[in-house]
Amino acid sequence: MGGAADLSTPGCHARTTRPPGRCEPCELAQPKRPREARPLDAAARARRAGYDRRRGSPARRGYGAQWRVRRAVFLELQPSCADPAGRHVGEPRRATLPDHIVPLAAGGADDESNWQALCASCHGHKIATHDGGFGRPRKSA
């Protein structure tokens, strides 16, 4: 590459020779790698398999090939986490997930006006505290 690495962070135009090809601010803004998950025991695997069967595949839930294209375009246009809960003020983070502000299951629209770009941490927090994720009750708006 002639000394300059490719630009792997959407919206960043800095050239760098640092591995893995990101400038220092972009590297610091990357989410940390998660710890290795512990292997599941047989009972946990059975519970997860039952949940997955009831939930259906991502494509059946509306997250097929067309969604993946829309997702990629949206994240390219909105590369920073919206941080709706103010969890990392002053520490910009790269958005990795488009989130439905009003969940589809609660009647939200499936278009960009109902999307926000979130990092994995903010998405998990929102799911757990507002959207009824992880077995918790859904909060009304």
Q: pLDDT tens digit string along 4-49?
A: 444 456 667 666 666 556 676 776 666 666 667 678 889 988 988 8
Cβ neighbours of residue 61 under 8 Å, at least 6 residues apart?
Answer: 55
Look at residue 139 in the predicted model and tell me its pLDDT. 66
Look at residue 48 in the predicted model and tell me its pLDDT. 85
Q: How far apart are CA 56 and CA 105, in angstroms?
A: 14
pLDDT tens, position by position, 123-135: 988 888 877 666 6
Concatenate the DSSP letters of all residues of the chain into one string: -TT-----STT------STTS--HHHHHHSPPPPPPPPPP-HHHHHHHHHHHHHH--TTTTT-SHHHHHHHHHHHHH--B---TT-TTTTS--B--EEEESS-GGGT--SSGGGEEEE-HHHHHHHHHHTB-GGGPPBPP-
Bridge partners, 100 (sequence order): 115
Q: Who has greater pLDDT, 51 or 6?
A: 51
Q: With bands split at pLDDT 50, 70 and 90, how would you rate the model's confidence at 52?
A: confident
pLDDT tens, position by position, 77-109: 999 999 998 988 888 899 999 999 988 878 889
Three-state SS annotation for 48-74: HHHHHHHHCCCCCCCCCHHHHHHHHHH
- Cut 0.75: pTM above it: no
Q: pLDDT above 90 covers what percent of the chain?
A: 28
